[in-house]
Amino acid sequence: MTCVFVQIRCVPGTAYRVADAIALREIHSELYSTSGNFDLLLKLYIPEGQDVGKFINENLLDIDGIERTLTTLTFKAF
C-alpha cells in the first residue's frame, strides 16, 4: 500500500460538510482540520497496484465544496 497525504482547501463555510462526506466514504486512515492555506489534511493508503491519481479522482475529488488539493506521496517511513 502507498501512504498518501492530501491537503484540501474547501469553499469557505464547507469544511465540516466536506469532512463528513469524506468520512462516509471510509477511504481515509486519518482526517484532520488544519490551519493555514488548507482546511483539511487527509491521510490515506492507496491499494497496491492502483493508480494514485485515478484513485484520488474517483474517490475524493467529486465531493462538493473541494476547491483545491495538494497531494504528497510518501516513499519510506523512518
pLDDT of residue 58: 94
State the Cα–Cα distance between residues 44 and 26, nearest whole angstrom.
10
In this prediction, residue 9 carries a pLDDT of 98
Q: Which domains, and CATH codes, for the chain?
A: 2-73 (3.30.70.920)
How far is 48 from 55, CA to CA, in rounded Å?
Answer: 11
Q: pLDDT band at 1, cuts 50/70/90?
A: confident
Condensed to tens digits (0 to 9), the pLDDT of residues 8-52 reads 999 999 999 999 999 999 999 999 999 999 999 999 999 999 999
Report yes or no: 66 and 18 within 8 Å, Cβ to Cβ: yes
Reported pTM: 0.91
